[in-house]
Every structure is written in C-alpha cells, then in structure tokens.
Structure 1
Amino acid sequence: MICGVDEAGKGAVLGPMVVATAGITDPGLLDSLGVRDSKKLTPRKREEIYSVLIEDCAHHVVYISPEEIDSVLSLISMNMVVAQAHAACVEALHPITAYLDACDVNAARYARTIGALLLHPCEIIAEHRADSTYPIVAAASIIAKVERDRAIADLASEYGDIGSGYPSDTKTIRFLRQYILEQGISPPCARKSWKTVSTLLSELKQTSLSDF
C-alpha cells in the first residue's frame, strides 16, 4: 500500500486543523475519479470524490482543535504539530511508501522528521505542493478539506456566518471583532495564540481606554 498525507486549516484562526491520509493498492482508482488538488475542485466535486474515497480507500483523519494547538505552541513549533499529525496518519495505515506535502522549507528535512516519528519502517517522500504532483496526496487533501469544511459548517450553525476561518477572510475578521467586542474575550473556536486574535483584543483594550 502507498498513502498520501495532507492537511487543511493549518493557517486558520478559527476551527480545527484537519490532517488526513488516503491509502491505495490500485493507483488506477484515483485516475478514474479525476482526483486532483482539492483547491482546484468545486465543493460539490470534492464531496462527490470524497464519498468514493472513504468507501474505496484506506483512510485516517486527525483533528487538532484550537485549544490543543494553543496548548502546545509554547513547547513546539506549528510545523512540528503538523509533523506529529502527519506521522500519526502514516502510522495508522502502515504503508510501504508515504507521500507527504512538506510542511517545512526544507522538504528533505521534513521527510527525515517524519521518519524519526514513525514506529514502523516506511519510505517517506516529502515534497512541496505534493498535492499537485501526486494523486494520492491530492486524495488526502480532498478528505482533509471536506472534513474541515464540515467542521466550519458546524461552527457556523452555532455562531452564524464565520467565513472560512482564515485571517484573510473579511467575514472571519468581522465575526471575531464583533464577538470580542460583545464578550470581551475570543470565542472558543479561535486559536488564541494567533496574532490575529491578540491584535483584535489589543484593539478592543485601546478602544475601551479611549472611552475614559
């Protein structure tokens, strides 16, 4: 078996980071599905391919909540958080070869990092933009993206329109600013260790001080 690993939501300020792996013994399956980088697919197409992948491929998904991310970032880097989740996904399937989207400027170093975290022998191939190069990584990216989109939809049902959860999204920033303004704290679904949150909290504090 070979597997691919990718994540969704690494840079988001709201919601979980989702890491997924997809494993296959017959690469022809992915060709027939038209698998490619999840970012190049419409939401409907992602859902269609996802439903087949989870039926016909070995797979494993790891969710890392905002609280979990905040709790470990004082001890390890975000890249290591991702690496540990990638390794957990590889371990879950015990493949002969694992293809990973490298979460490090040095892809070879990232491959060595993952190898050192594994308990079972496995050839690790880590490359930048691997989801565009290897269909098996693209398959993993689709699973991760769909799972994260569903998590964001669940949050939206609780909080209202929160956007995509990324700092570049004006809807996300609008939601965060309004929540902090009304509650005086950031929402539980936010990564408090993110600069986006600390900046908005600082703005609120400055605004409050100017009222005196």
Structure 2
Amino acid sequence: MNNLVITVDKRQKEKIKAYYTAYQQPSNNPYVEAFFKVDGVSITLYQSGKVMFQGEHANLHAQKWGYQAEKTTPKQDLSQQVPMIGTDEVGNGSYFGGLAVVASFVTPSDHAFLKSLGVDDSKRLTDQKICQIAPLLKEKIPHQALLLTPKKYNEVIERGYNAVSVKVALHNQAIFLLLQKGVAPEQIVIDAFTSSKNYNRYLAQEANRFPNPVTLEEKAEGKYLAVAVSSIIARAMFLENLAQLSHEIGYSLPSGAGKKSDYVARDILAQYGMAGLEKTAKLHFANTQKAQALLSHRK
C-alpha cells in the first residue's frame, strides 16, 4: 500500500476539502482537519498543512495536488517533532519465551526526559540498563503492552497464523488499544518486520481497525524515540517472562535460538516431554526437531 505525504497552503486545503466533500468521514484525531475515503484511498488532511494519501492508488490522488515522487517521499516527511505512536516487538527470534509487542505515544515535550534516561534502541542497551529504565518509561509514557506467552503463541500458530501474521495482529491491536485511551498521534511508525503489502494483506483479516495512516520503516527503533521506548519496554517484558518461565520449569532458559537452546530443550523434553516445550518455547522453530534428535541420540 502506498503512503504518500505532501504539504499544502491554506488555499489548497480549502480546495481539497471542497473537492472531496462528498467523501468526508469523521475523525477523532484533534490534529486532523478533515478525513476522506475515496476509491479505496484514505486522505488525511492535518491542521499543520500536511496531507497523507494511503492506498493502492494513492499516487493518482496525490498527483492532483502537486505530489512528485522524486521530490517527496513518506520517509522524508516523518519527523520526531510531532506526537507519534511507535511500535516494536521483542522475542520473535528467540526459541524460548513469549512475544512482546508495545506501542508507545511520545510527544516532543517528552524528548528531554527520554534523552536524560539514555533512551536508545534496546539492542544498544544492556539488559541491566533496560530493566532500570523500563519502569520509569512505563510510568511516564502512555503505552500499550501485549505479551503472547509461548503456550498462547503455539495455539494461534495451530489456528493458522504464521510468524508474520501473528506480529501484524499484535502490532495492530496494541495501536488500536492505545488509540482507545485517547492519545492523538500525528504519525504512527512500526519498526518494519515485513513489507507494507504483506502487512496490509494480513491486516485485512483483523477485526479491530483504525483510520490513522501507518508507516513501516526499517531500523525505526534507532530513528524515533517513540519506537525506542517501545523496544525497551518490550525487551523488559520479554526478559521478565523468560525469567518467570525459567523459574517454573526449573531450567535457565536462554534467549535466542542457538545451540544452547537445543540442549536446554533436549533436557526439558527428557523430563517433561512435549508439554514442557509447549509451555516454554515456540514449537515451530527448528530447535524443536534438533532437541528431539539430540534426545534420541542420547538414548
């Protein structure tokens, strides 16, 4: 799905509103002056003068109002200096532990506080640092956190979800629930884990929808503080879940999906059978078969 942005003056804004008046729909976003849906394209006119066109034929409508592909792209238009929702997930690449997805709402007035804490992409921070600042972020920053435990993860995979579609569902739900709390973002950015085409294909299967345009951008956790906050809270949630599962199963569960995970999974299989892995691990990972092979060789 195309996601295009232009900036217009007051005169152009009035022309756009008049042109699409028959297609206007309500919007609860206080930063939105008018919202339209026409020919499968969503058109959002912000009070700031920005106009967002989203949909398969977004370029056809955007070009009517001066859009030029070589000069204006969505990524160039994204800015830290607006209220933003950013989302990220942690646990996707780890065999043990759940999948944590967080959406956070950050405004420019939060930036000084976040920088004073050293907020950055969670991949650049130690786990100790993450666990120190995550409670402060959770208290100060409006957010919505979702944790899919390994047991629940395995259940939804059995129901027909896959590793990508389950993340689409969680990111969409986190944003939807955060918007329900009354926050008013001018931009929503997801740390990209798939293409926009794939995201929207899976999104069509989800019941909870919202009209706000969404941008998927690679390595967004290192570019936008809203995404960085989400990555930190999500990492802390994942670590807490991994520690809890370790305590319950009686084994120290490693993060990641390396050889260490194979051997721990083998030992869990030996003591608890598949029920032990169903509770602690993502069964569709290749580690499951490797652990079963290791156990058969040991016997």
TM-score band w.r.t. shorter chain: 0.7 to 0.9
Q: Larger relative CO (CA 8 A, sep 6+): 1 or 2?
A: 1
Could you say which residue in structure 2 is the equivalent of 1:178? 267
Could you say which residue in structure 2 is the equivalent of 1:189? 280
Could you say which residue in structure 2 is the equivalent of 1:68? 152
State the alpha-carbon separation in 2 of the partners of residues 114 and 24 from structure 1: 27
Equivalent of residue 230 in structure 2, options 140, 145, 149:
140
Matching of residues 89-104 of structure 1 within 5 Å: 89-94=174-179, 95-96=184-185, 97-104=187-194
Please list the CA deviations of residues 67-93 of structure 1 after superposition, one character each: whole Å capped at 9, or x if unmatched.
222223241221010010000110011
Please list the CA deviations of residues 126-179 of structure 1 after superposition, one character each: whole Å capped at 9, or x if unmatched.
111111121210110000000110111112222232222x21262x33221112
Cα distance change of structure 1 residues 186 and 115 upon mapping to structure 2, 3 Å threshold: closer
1:77 aligns with 2:182: no
Q: Secondary structure at the match of 1:14?
A: coil
TM-score (ref. length: structure 2):
0.62
- Tell me by how many angstroms 1:40 deviates: 0.6
Q: Segments of 4+ in structure 1 off by > 6 A?
A: none
Cα distance change of structure 1 residues 169 and 154 upon mapping to structure 2, 3 Å threshold: farther
* Percentage of pairs with the same residue: 24
State the alpha-carbon separation in 1 of the partners of residues 115 and 201 from structure 2: 30
Aligned length: 204
Could you say which residue in structure 2 is the equivalent of 1:162? 253
- Tell me by how many angstroms 1:186 deviates: 5.4
Moved more, 142-151 or 44-53: 44-53
State the alpha-carbon separation in 2 of the partners of residues 54 and 167 from structure 1: 28
Equivalent of residue 291 in structure 2, options 188, 197, 200:
200
State the alpha-carbon separation in 2 of the partners of residues 156 and 65 from structure 1: 13
Matching of residues 25-40 of structure 1 within 5 Å: 25=107, 26-28=109-111, 29-40=113-124
1:16 aligns with 2:16: no
Which is richer in helix?
1
Gaps of 5+ in 2: 1-82
C-alpha RMSD of matched pairs (Å): 2.2
Cα distance change of structure 1 residues 197 and 33 upon mapping to structure 2, 3 Å threshold: same
Please list the CA deviations of residues 87-134 of structure 1 after superposition, one character each: whole Å capped at 9, or x if unmatched.
011001114321111111x2x325645875552211211111111121
CA contact under 8 A between 1:6 and 1:19: conserved in structure 2? yes
Gaps of 5+ in 1: none
- Tell me by how many angstroms 1:60 deviates: 1.0
TM-score (ref. length: structure 1):
0.85
CA contact under 8 A between 1:110 and 1:126: conserved in structure 2? no
